[in-house]
Amino acid sequence: MTALLDRRPGIVDDAVVGVVPTEVVRPADVRGVADVLRQAQAEQRTVVATGGRTKVGWAPAPSSADVLIDTTGLDRVVEHTAGDLVVVAEAGLRLAALQEQLGEAGQWLALDPPEEGATLGGVVSANASGPRRLRYGTVRDLLIGVTVVLADGTTARAGGKVVKNVAGYDLGKLYTGAHGSLGVVVSTTWRLHPVPAARRVVVVELPDPLAAGPLALTMARSTLTPAAVELHATAGASAALVVVFESIPESVRAQADAAVMLLGGGRQGDDLPDEFGRRPGGDGDLVLRLAFAPASLPAVLGALPAGTSVAASACTGVAYVAMSPQHADMLPTLRGAIAAYDGTAVVLGAPPAYREGLDHWGPVGDALDLMWRVKDRFDPDHRLAPGRFVGGM
């Protein structure tokens, strides 16, 4: 084994959704990760990888966790080519630390998931994004290269260090959102953007969240280019629609004025509301991620129980909602109601007493067989994050 490893027995604080690993290993380089996986294969041990642990609950508990790989030892910026707007950084690097370094060059990675302490590998594995996905896209749009270590210890690379790369399959998209079930992400390559010079925010107060639907549709059909259109609401109560413009000063002022005219009112300012970008809920709530056809926002909101807290990217059809865990038995009904709008509901969090027996992912249709074939190809012994992904894979 390489000397660049920290090993210790697992403790309760290392638990992955209640499952305490037998051993925790913190490699300091890619070779160390490969050594751990190579040894785990020889001993037929299961492996789960974590980074900042900010999204551990976004997937079900593993059926087994013999070895937990802590990727936070891989925390270097490998290469920042400012002239090409590209950065290569290891997977255990905190997103906030990367943004701070890029900011010195007037650039940033245009991902804004709100989880404090998130690592790049965790952002990829959970496919996490925030309000500005409307303007810049998600992980799949900004990730242009990835290095992973496979179940047998083989190191594989996909993509490259240029924004346009058409050689071979785009395996980066395959690992995005896979929750470590196909390999351990160890390095990432990203497309960057300049930091916007100015920002202008329009906030429209609404007596009913359902009123946000037509307004969001108006924004989507306009020629304006907001960075985000966010709805903060409580089902059955009041709401606020927040429209953010980020560009040069002249542009944001003109677009904010035009937005006020289109939306029939609203107050302007330079500062974001305190709740902007936050995901609702806490440890005691049932927290869901909803995805749906954007035009169906009012119908989706209408299907939620009264009192549900909502943070929705109103023009992209993604919402994070938090409700009492006592509504867990309503989950099949909710999924059925939003299925008509290409809707899905994935569990991101629930109290331990409600997790057992909870259908985390919901129906996946006829794609499950293909998913299992991919799993068999990349992890034939089913030792990586077992039970964490769709269909128990």
Domain ranges within the chain, ordered by starting residue: 5-71, 75-194, 196-362
pLDDT for 161 equals 64
Cα 191 off chain centre by: 17
Mean pLDDT along residues 111-120 = 96
Mean pLDDT along residues 181-208 = 97
* Matching CATH number, 196-362, of 3.40.1710, 3.40.462, 2.40.128, 3.30.2310: 3.40.462
Place of tokens 């299961």: 46
pLDDT for 170 equals 72
Model confidence at 315: pLDDT above 90: yes
Strands (DSSP E) contained in 115-162 are: 143-149, 155-159
Topology match between the domains 5-71 and 75-194: no
Rounded percentage of the chain residues whose pLDDT exceeds 70: 96
pLDDT, tens digit, for every residue of 57-68? Answer: 999 999 999 999
Report the alpha-carbon angle 242-290-299, nearest 5: 75
pLDDT, tens digit, for every residue of 259-291? Answer: 999 999 999 999 999 999 999 999 999 999 999
What distance in Å separates the CA atoms of residue 47 and residue 52, rounded to the nearest whole number? Answer: 17
Mean pLDDT along residues 120-142 = 97
Mean pLDDT along residues 183-200 = 98
* Matching CATH number, 5-71, of 1.10.357.10, 3.90.1520.10, 2.60.120.10, 3.30.43.10: 3.30.43.10
Model confidence at 162: pLDDT above 60: no
pLDDT, tens digit, for every residue of 320-355? Answer: 999 999 999 999 999 999 999 999 999 999 999 998
Per-position b or e across 99-118, b if 16+ CB within 10 A of its CB: beebeeeebbbbbbbebeeb
pLDDT for 341 equals 96
| Whether the Cβ atoms of residue 187 and residue 120 lie closer than 8 Å to each other | no
What distance in Å separates the CA atoms of residue 300 and residue 203, rounded to the nearest whole number? Answer: 22
The CATH number of the structural domain formed by 75-194 is 3.30.465.10
Helix, strand, or coil (residue 353): helix
The predicted model scores a pTM of 0.94
pLDDT for 297 equals 97
Model confidence at 160: pLDDT above 90: no
Residue 209: partners with Cβ closer than 8 Å, 6 or more residues away: 231, 233, 234, 235, 236, 237, 238, 239, 301, 310
pLDDT, tens digit, for every residue of 297-307? Answer: 999 999 999 99
Rounded percentage of the chain residues whose pLDDT exceeds 90: 91
pLDDT, tens digit, for every residue of 15-41? Answer: 999 999 999 999 999 999 999 999 999
141: tokens are 């749009």
Model confidence at 1: pLDDT above 70: no
pLDDT, tens digit, for every residue of 200-253? Answer: 999 999 999 999 999 999 999 999 999 999 999 998 888 999 999 999 999 999
Q: What are phi and psi of 129, to 5 degrees?
A: -150, 180
Model confidence at 167: pLDDT above 70: no
Place of tokens 């980020």: 246
Mean pLDDT along residues 118-135 = 98
pLDDT band at 158 (very low <50, low <70, confident <90, very high): confident
